[in-house]
């Protein structure tokens, strides 16, 4: 179990903000799966991650508008996570003050999903849950149906 508050923040790849890296799998230097909690305090571009599939979910704050080449997408707390190509690097505009956001990034041919809800019925080879109220990541959950006491983001990954 990883508590986000126990992880030191590090600068984003583009230097525009801070994130707490909650999980690298299999290793930090050669990851296929990266889960991080980012603090967005000002408008600006996302870091570009070519070759990476990315999911984004607001877990605290009013939300953001993400400006992609094909149009804008608004994400608020409680919305189903948004999946997009990490190479796109949208410009982010805060809707009403800072936000805290969970990011799931998958490199290469790694498949996965990030889902909001209190229940999870999907079996994946690797599974986890980010508990929003406690900002805690549990990884390596067993197969079968799972239930959370409160709002959660469920993570399923197939390397």
pLDDT tens digits along 97-127: 999 999 999 999 999 999 999 999 999 999 9
Q: pTM to 2 decimals?
A: 0.94
- The reported pLDDT for the residue numbered 84 is 96
The order of strands in the sheet holding 99-107 is 10-11, 18-25, 33-40, 99-107, 52-60, 82-85
Asked if 131 and 148 touch (Cβ cutoff 8 Å), the reply is yes
pLDDT of residue 80: 96
The list of the chain residues with pLDDT below 70 reads none
Per-domain boundaries in the chain: 6-107, 111-158
| Homologous superfamily assigned to 6-107 | Jelly Rolls (2.60.120.10)
């Amino acid at each position: 179990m990883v508590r986000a508050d126990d992880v030191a923040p590090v600068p984003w790849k583009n230097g525009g903000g801070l994130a707490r890296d909650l999980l690298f799998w299999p290793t930090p230097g050669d990851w296929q799966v990266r889960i991080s909690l980012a603090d967005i305090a000002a408008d600006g571009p996302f870091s570009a991650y070519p070759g990476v599939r990315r999911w984004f979910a607001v877990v605290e704050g009013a939300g953001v508008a993400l400006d992609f080449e094909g149009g804008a997408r608004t994400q608020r707390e409680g919305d189903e996570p948004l999946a997009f190509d990490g190479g796109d690097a949208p410009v982010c505009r805060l809707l009403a003050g800072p936000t805290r956001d969970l990011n799931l990034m998958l490199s290469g041919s790694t498949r996965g999903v990030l889902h909001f809800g209190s229940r999870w019925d999907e079996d994946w080879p690797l599974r986890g849950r980010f508990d929003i109220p406690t900002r805690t990541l549990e990884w390596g959950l067993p197969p079968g149906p799972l239930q959370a006491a409160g709002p959660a983001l469920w993570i399923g990954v197939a390397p």
